[in-house]
């Protein structure tokens, strides 16, 4: 039996879990107030603060850390890398501290895992960060030489659900062609071919279909005019596209449950916008299906919105001619991180190392 500590930091919370193999024996979400965090200028400045709270929480709940075999942290914004479980090393720590691909609370995942693992005397890992990039060369061409398409998506959940489905049908993930759709605050649609995501949009910047709070790909000419209209600064435009876009822009909320409630109460505008989101997601599924030449074993819908039968049925109705559609609601990130660590501890796969020379050599 393997015992693991899992750490998943968010902007105002730190989720921790303790697993014995795949069995969750302890879970807690530690909330951090704005008052507690306002004194930290940068994300990595919160490291000691969050570490102390985690250790106290484990102690109070009688978790004996000396019995832990590995600590797994949520992967942050490191350089683009292949999918897998990576051992935290000095270069990764440096890139997480400086925010190589940007500042985000998830950068603390690897840092916190390393700190705890060093105290315990075990290894620290991260699993499938959002910057997993396995695009084929042709997918990187944008149409403008100065801009290259990049892959930033919900890699952890994509990969975990793909593997889970493969296990259900008694096949290997590396033997399947799948389209995986994460339906959350952001939406990402990926073409999975034999264990690699060869096509996926940059969901962090809101590319692809619009989502509850992201604008999705917009008409370029109109977007340029808006950027130069004088109404918005650069940072205001970024927020407009990746926080105030999508459903928020039209309906003033990013909560799909509230939108469904409005629809049931007869709100026709809410129905139109919600249908439009399903329509765009379905179009994206069709687009990435072409990348796989229509040879698809299944289309998998996952994420928080996958709990809602209304949107999943709309999507199914539009794409079921392509391949069977299966629904895996939610995003159990703690379990997904645990599974990545267990694959290494059980010698089912080898932990990857994060190197400067290999970080972009995919």
Tokens read off for 65: 């850390």
- If you write DSSP's letter for every residue of 47-95 in order, what string do you get? HHHHHHHHHHHHHHTT--GGG--EEEEE--S-S-B-SSEEE--HHHHHH
Sign of the C-alpha dihedral, residues 45, 46, 47, 49? Answer: positive
Question: pTM of the entire structure?
Answer: 0.89
d(CA 288, CA 131): 19
Closest C-alpha to 1, from 353, 338, 355:
338
Q: Which residues of the chain have pLDDT under 50?
A: 357-362
Specify whether 50 is located in the same domain as 173: no
Tokens read off for 204: 């962090």
Q: How many domains does the chain have?
A: 2
Q: What pLDDT does 356 receive? A: 59
Q: What is the DSSP letter of 323?
A: S
CATH of the domain at 309: 3.30.420.40
Helix, strand or coil for residue 357? coil
Specify whether 39 is located in the same domain as 164: no
The 10s digit of each residue's pLDDT in 110-149 is 999 999 999 999 999 999 998 999 999 999 999 999 999 9
Specify whether 124 is located in the same domain as 167: no
Specify whether 322 is located in the same domain as 347: no
Specify whether 20 is located in the same domain as 54: yes
CB atoms within 10 A of CB 275: 14
CB atoms within 10 A of CB 25: 12
Is 54 a member of any domain?
Answer: yes
Specify whether 26 is located in the same domain as 103: yes
The 10s digit of each residue's pLDDT in 261-281 is 999 999 999 999 999 999 999
Q: What is the DSSP letter of 235?
A: H
Tell me the residue range of the domain where 256 lies. Answer: 155-330
d(CA 66, CA 95): 28
Specify whether 282 is located in the same domain as 322: yes
Q: What pLDDT does 33 receive? A: 85
CB atoms within 10 A of CB 15: 17
Count, in order, helices (H) and strands (E) of the chain: 12, 12
CA atoms within 13 A on the CB side of 216: 22
Specify whether 64 is located in the same domain as 201: no
d(CA 296, CA 315): 16
Tokens read off for 326: 């299966």
CA atoms within 13 A on the CB side of 248: 16
Specify whether 246 is located in the same domain as 321: yes
Question: Pairing relation of β-strands 70-74 and 3-9?
Answer: parallel
Chain position carrying tokens 């998506």: 153
Specify whether 252 is located in the same domain as 349: no
Is 146 a member of any domain?
Answer: no
Specify whether 163 is located in the same domain as 294: yes
Specify whether 181 is located in the same domain as 301: yes
Is 147 a member of any domain?
Answer: no
Helix, strand or coil for residue 19? strand
Is 362 a member of any domain?
Answer: no
d(CA 167, CA 203): 27
- 102, 44 in Cβ contact below 8 A? no
Helix, strand or coil for residue 316? helix
d(CA 84, CA 75): 11
- 98, 42 in Cβ contact below 8 A? no
Q: What pLDDT does 362 receive? A: 38
């Amino acid at each position: 039996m393997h015992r693991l500590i899992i750490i998943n930091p968010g902007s105002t919370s730190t989720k921790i879990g303790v697993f014995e193999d795949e069995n969750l024996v302890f879970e807690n979400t530690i909330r951090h107030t704005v008052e507690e965090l306002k004194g930290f200028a940068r994300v990595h400045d919160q490291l000691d603060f969050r570490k102390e709270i985690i250790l106290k929480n484990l102690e109070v709940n009688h978790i004996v850390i000396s019995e832990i075999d590995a600590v797994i942290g949520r992967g942050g914004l490191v350089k683009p890398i292949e999918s897998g479980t990576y051992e935290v090393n000095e270069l990764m720590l440096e890139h997480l501290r400086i925010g190589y691909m940007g500042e985000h609370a998830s950068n603390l995942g690897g840092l916190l895992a390393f700190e705890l693992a060093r105290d315990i005397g075990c290894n620290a890992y991260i699993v499938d960060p959002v910057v997993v990039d396995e695009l084929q060369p042709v997918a990187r061409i944008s149409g403008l030489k100065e801009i290259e398409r990049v892959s930033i998506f919900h890699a952890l959940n994509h990969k975990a659900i793909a593997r889970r489905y493969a296990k259900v049908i008694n096949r290997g993930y590396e033997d399947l062609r799948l389209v995986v759709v994460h339906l959350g605050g952001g939406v990402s649609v990926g073409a999975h071919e034999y264990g690699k995501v060869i096509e996926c949009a940059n969901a962090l910047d809101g590319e692809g279909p619009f989502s509850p709070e992201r604008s999705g790909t917009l008409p370029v000419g109109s977007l340029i005019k808006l950027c130069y209209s004088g109404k918005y600064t650069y940072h205001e435009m970024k927020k407009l596209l990746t926080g105030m876009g999508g459903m928020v822009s039209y309906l003033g909320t990013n909560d799909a449950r509230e939108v469904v409630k409005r629809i049931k109460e007869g709100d026709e505008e809410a129905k139109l916008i919600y249908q439009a989101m399903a329509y765009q997601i379905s179009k994206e599924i069709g687009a990435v299906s072409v990348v796989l030449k229509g040879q698809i074993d299944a289309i998998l819908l996952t994420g928080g919105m996958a709990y809602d039968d209304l949107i999943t049925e709309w999507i199914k109705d539009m794409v079921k001619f392509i391949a069977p559609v299966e629904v895996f609601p939610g995003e159990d990130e703690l379990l997904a991180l645990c599974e990545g660590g267990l694959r290494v501890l059980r010698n089912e796969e080898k932990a990857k190392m994060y190197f400067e020379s290999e970080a972009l050599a995919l």
